[in-house]
Amino acid sequence: MPGFTDTAIPARRRLMGLVAIVAVSLAYPALAQNAAAQALPVRTPERVREEMFVRIGGIDQWITIKGDDRNNPVVLFLHGGPGDALSPFADAMFGGWEKDFTCVQWDQRGAGRTYGKSGPSIEPTMTVGRMAQDGIEVAQFLAKHLNQKKIIIEGGSWGSILGIHMVHSRPDLFYAYVGDAQMVNTRKNESASYARVLEMARAAGDQQAITALTTIGPPPWDSLREWPVFRKWKLAYQAKTVTAPPVPITLSPAYASPEERAQYEAADDFSFEHFWGLKMSGPMEDVDLPALGTDFAIPIFILQGQEDLTALPELAKAYFDSIKAPRKQFYLVPGTGHEPSAAELDMILKVLVEQVRPLALGR
């Protein structure tokens, strides 16, 4: 399939500039010495545009690296899902961020082009622990490849689970963690979400929703058949509560072919079925971030949609309050649900520029 290669596809330009030192007559040695002392090399920003498969965790995984200056701080985005790679939409969502950061998209194990390369044979390796270790290996690769001491993590929803695992395990690799739609404990998140949606249905006198939800009962469920019923009503009520304009989603032409779209959807379905399981007993059901410990060695920033019905903000805030970190901040984003709004993306960028970038630059 077009787009798959074992080598990088760089679009880099190496531009180096030096300040010329004007020759000065030997009759004025002091002036010549002073001119030489003041002459400093001028660094021209080196744009980076790379797309490649990198050997991570024993398989080839798809990574894109884009930024206006290779020396800028690096942000590794951890997509949600599991299986919902951001690469096809990243240019539209994060293109404006490349002035201040080198933005890295990574199609995780079982997602996007990584899934297209490996196929479903890697399913036995798809554990939270293995994928967090993949993320650590990606971070190590980026630090070496881009000549950076550390990088920054930004993770949303499922990506927030991986991100917490990564920074808890290897804080030495990261300047800070920025999470949005922060998950905490899957079973508690599901129970709270079900209770909230049922409460909203009852308040609205929505008998159809009430009947459907009470018929399947509260989680935990023992079959994947119950999940679509709950999801239908959760999304319906999420749509009623969201008021913030959504993020404009534009598919990059490189990912727009029928083959690429089919691959993306296959990966999404594959990851969903694996992580939830046909009997709702997959790896996702065992996620419990507080059990990892709540002491962190790096700054933690969490942004949560005020109307999020999947990762309820009160659960995220309680988790945040339990965290001990050198620096931490919690932000509620009005009118925003589980999917990021334009306002939430703006706030994430603001946090990265004003709070995190100075850390990476040593200011």
Structure confidence at residue 248 as a pLDDT band (50, 70, 90): confident
Domain that holds residue 216: 188-241
Torsion sign across C-alpha atoms 264, 268, 269, 270: positive
Q: Which residue, of 214, 241, 268, is where some domain finishes?
A: 241
Say if residue 107 is in the same domain as residue 155: yes
Say if residue 175 is in the same domain as residue 75: yes
Cβ burial, residue 123 (10 Å; 0-12/13-18/19+) = middle
Say if residue 168 is in the same domain as residue 147: yes
CATH number of the domain residue 103 falls in: 3.40.50.1820
59 occurs within a structural domain: yes
Q: Alpha-carbon distance 19 to 41, whole Å?
A: 6
Q: Alpha-carbon distance 220 to 59, whole Å?
A: 34
331 occurs within a structural domain: yes
pLDDT in tens, 135-192: 999 999 999 999 999 999 999 999 999 999 999 999 999 999 999 999 999 999 999 9
Residues 62-82 have a mean pLDDT of: 97
Structure confidence at residue 29 as a pLDDT band (50, 70, 90): very low
Question: Residue 159: how many CA atoms within 13 Å on its side-chain side?
Answer: 26
224 occurs within a structural domain: yes
pLDDT for 57 equals 98
38 occurs within a structural domain: no
Say if residue 181 is in the same domain as residue 89: yes
- Tally of domains within the chain: 2
Say if residue 218 is in the same domain as residue 306: no
Say if residue 150 is in the same domain as residue 259: yes
Check whether 2 has a pLDDT greater than 50: no
Say if residue 59 is in the same domain as residue 134: yes
321 occurs within a structural domain: yes
In DSSP terms, 67 is beta-bridged to 48
9 occurs within a structural domain: no
Q: Are 175 and 73 in contact (CB under 8 A)?
A: yes
Residue 294 token pair:
């709540």
**Three-class HEC string of 102-163:** EEEEECCCCCHHHHHHHHHHHHHHCCHHHHHHHHHHHHHHHHHHCCCCCEEEEEECHHHHHH
Say if residue 113 is in the same domain as residue 211: no
Say if residue 172 is in the same domain as residue 226: no
300-305 β-sheet, strand order: 48-56, 59-67, 102-106, 74-78, 151-156, 174-180, 300-305, 328-333
Say if residue 308 is in the same domain as residue 179: yes
Q: Alpha-carbon distance 134 to 109, whole Å?
A: 8
